[in-house]
Amino acid sequence: MESNTASSDVQRYQVRKLEITDKNKGFMELLQQLTVCDPVTDEEFEKRFQELKTYGDDHVICVIEDVNLSKIVATGSVFIEKKFIRNCGKVGHIEDVVVDSSARGMQLGKKVAGFLADHARLTGCYKVILDCSDDNKAFYEKCGFKQKEIQMVKYFI
Amino acid sequence: MESNTASSDVQRYQVRKLEITDKNKGFMELLQQLTVCDPVTDEEFEKRFQELKTYGDDHVICVIEDVNLSKIVATGSVFIEKKFIRNCGKVGHIEDVVVDSSARGMQLGKKVAGFLADHARLTGCYKVILDCSDDNKAFYEKCGFKQKEIQMVKYFI
């Protein structure tokens, strides 16, 4: 029974890159569970989507779709920073990871973090980093991350 | 006398964007004071420089040159991340800030951080962030930053 459940979960929760039609599948509403995220028009969404597309593999947004509901239930992004240090090395930056409140406890967050970290590794990054609250530290430790530095911020608005 | 000194310092320490000829002015040796930074060939340097140039205002490296010595004595970079949250907002990420050990105590680090934060603000970012050690927290507080989250890292090498 367990393996059947796992297999049906794999079919139900599809991990892939963001598509332009995901705006109609609750992508922006999902981001609203993360932080301030006002609704945007279709034009604004498409403009940003196309801008990000020009970065190719240097900016990837992962989503998990619940195909039974045609709903995006988890997401996260990674962008690849090119440096001069570490022999002109590259670093992956993970941002904006969130799992829908109705879909927690199914390891979807871990799948998103894994997808993004794998992408950074496969594009040649020597490390992948992210900033999170103390509350999320244990989650990322389960994903293979370790705490290193502190994050400082300056707001303009 | 003080204003004369300040004025001559402004002439001596020129704040500007990285130029391709800065490799011959000790730019890579300066980065070695920050972290692991093996020497790169002129071809590798030029390739990375041109790659970064294609990002335009979305990736800027600030340097301070001591024009008396034709030597780069401080640097830092910022890249602009485009998001869907915050009304398709943008965030500046500051990285790789370092001041030459022989040029400390002259507020050059503050000038670099200010240049990078101003760039983020002027390109429309709603905030600018960076990761640093606990030891550097007080410095960035003087630059107007506040501690917010923690940084997590996963190394591939």
pLDDT at A1: 45
pLDDT at A157: 78
- Segment A60-66 shows an average pLDDT of 98
A120 CA to chain B: closest CA distance, Å?
Answer: 9
Which residues on A lie below 8 Å from B27 (Cβ)? 84
Q: Is the pLDDT of residue A4 over 70?
A: no
- B1 — pLDDT class (breaks 50, 70, 90): very low
As a whole number of angstroms, the distance between CA A47 and CA A56 comes to 15
- Segment A25-48 shows an average pLDDT of 93
CB A116 within 8 Å of CB A62: yes
Tokens of A82: 């090119």
Interface test with B, best of A152, A155, A156, A157 (most B CBs within 10 A): A152
DSSP E strand boundaries for chain B = 13-17, 59-66, 71-82, 90-99, 127-132, 146-155
pLDDT at A10: 75
CB B92 within 8 Å of CB B125: yes
Tokens of A134: 């103390």
B147: nearest CA partner in chain A: A152
Q: Is the pLDDT of residue A5 over 50?
A: yes
- B96 — pLDDT class (breaks 50, 70, 90): very high
Q: Is the pLDDT of residue A3 over 60?
A: no
Which residues on A lie below 8 Å from B85 (Cβ)? 31, 34-37, 96
Q: What is the pLDDT of residues A79-137, one digit of tens each?
A: 999 999 999 999 999 999 999 999 999 999 999 999 999 999 999 999 999 999 999 99
Residue in this structure with the two tokens 């790659």, named with its chain if needed: B51
- B5 — pLDDT class (breaks 50, 70, 90): low
CB B67 within 8 Å of CB B59: no
Which range has the worst mean pLDDT, A2-16, B4-18, B74-88? Answer: A2-16
Tokens of A41: 């028009």
Selecting from A35, A52, A131 the residue whose C-beta is nearest the C-beta of B131 gives A131
Helix, strand or coil for residue A132? Answer: strand
Q: Is the pLDDT of residue A39 over 90?
A: no
Q: Average pLDDT of chain B?
A: 94
Cβ contact (<8 Å) for B47 and A145? no
pLDDT at B92: 98
Cβ contact (<8 Å) for B83 and A96? yes
As a whole number of angstroms, the distance between CA B53 and CA A92 comes to 19
- B103 — pLDDT class (breaks 50, 70, 90): very high
CB B36 within 8 Å of CB B65: no
Q: What is the pLDDT of residues B31-90, one digit of tens each?
A: 999 988 788 999 999 999 999 999 999 999 999 999 999 999 999 999 999 999 999 999
